[in-house]
Amino acid sequence: MPVRFDPVERQNGRVKKIMRPGDRGASIRMKIHLWAPGFAVFQGGIGAFSQSLAEGLRAIGHEVSLYSRYDSPGNWHGLTLWGAKRAPAKLQVAFFAAGLIKAAVCDHPDYIISTHLNFGPVARMVKRINRTRYALIVHGVDVHEDLSEARQNALRAADRSIAMSSWTRCRLFASVPGLDRQRAFVLPNTIDETRFTVGPKPEYLRWRYALKPDDKVILTVARLAAHEGYKGYDRVVQALSAVRAACGSVFYLVIGQGDDRARVKKMAHDFGVAHAVIFAGFVPDEEMADHFRLADVFAMPSTGEGFGITFLEALACGTPVLAGNRDGSRDAVDNGRLGYLVDPINVEHIRQGLICLLQQRGAPLWFDRQALHDAVVARFGRAAFHQQLKQLF
């Protein structure tokens, strides 16, 4: 739902209208405080979204100040960054909350945007003190039936509740009774199209993983955390033997670390595919695009993904994608236009999907790497993201 404001400019703490030649109306130029777990200190999908949001808000003309729980004070990409990292660990939460309140009361921002729901009660407190509008970003698994009353109240009082996907927005209404539907929006993640591009399979990665030229690779990028068992990598392992029987020499490359690795490694042994599963562990950020280019299929049949930026990264590298149809992954593959959707809890469906993609049976777009890159950029690239931000703020 587009949000319209008169064009304004801030001078001496006040806002006044700006009219540019030829303008019939423009977005408001606001002073925004952006709260996040981290910007310089990367915090997974939330960190990637927070970075994109900071850059996007600045790109559309807003004055943005960053506030981070896990960063040190300084700046990030030219934006002022206040961080609570130097506070003693036991006092960090209280120190961060106090810093947010003090900054908002002293600086009088026009808007506060928090990329983590945990900071919502603090934003609500600031609004009660000085009427500062605020928006809360919700990602997926952070919204559930046992959501605390403080977080529910923060969502109800928010001027914008912004979900990463349609699935997450539905979870909001199910978990927060009385939430105003007119103030709940969807803002999908975005992709850095200059970094994730189409390219040949990197030879240095073939050597690293001892792959032959004819070997095919299924790739998953996920935290191997027992409490995040919804990613679906274990079901790919269960399907792998049948996939290899149909498609020949196929290897499953798993990038990520966590306490679930031992269980999945034993599962691979029990299913007789231990020799075909490669646990890569941690991979530096600068090598991620090359790993997507190495893969013949990116697979993450998850059941609780809020959106899944790794889908966009794989697609932007021209890699066919297999995703689950029960969560926010649907939005990332544009409801099946950009990737193959399966029932993520059905191993047989996963097996069929992987075989189809490895044998290049499906929509022609999925197997034209440059066309796939262009399609995901048109739908989720920086330009599309900035346009959606203009409508929201």
The predicted pLDDT at position 42 comes to 63
Per residue in 286-302, pLDDT tens?
A: 999 999 999 999 999 99
Q: What is the DSSP letter of 201?
A: P
Fold of 9-187: Rossmann fold (3.40.50)
Do the first three CATH levels of 9-187 and 203-380 match, i.e. the same topology? yes
Q: Which residues, other chains included, contact 393 with Cβ-Cβ below 8 Å and sequence gap of 6+? A: 3, 27, 28, 30, 32, 57, 60, 62, 111, 113, 135
Beta pairing, strands 133-138 & 111-114: parallel
Q: What are 308's two structure tokens?
A: 């899944």
pTM exceeds 0.85, yes or no: yes
Q: Which amino acid is at 305?
A: E
Fold of 203-380: Rossmann fold (3.40.50)
The predicted pLDDT at position 27 comes to 56
Task: Give the bridge partners for 297, in sequence order.
Answer: 218
The predicted pLDDT at position 45 comes to 84
Per residue in 107-133, pLDDT tens?
A: 999 999 999 999 999 999 999 999 999
- CB atoms closer than 10 angstroms to residue 214: 7
- CB atoms closer than 10 angstroms to residue 171: 24
The predicted pLDDT at position 227 comes to 80
Domain boundaries in the chain? 9-187, 203-380
Is the distance from CB of 167 to CB of 356 less than 8 angstroms? Answer: no
Which segments of the chain have a pLDDT < 50? Answer: 1-26
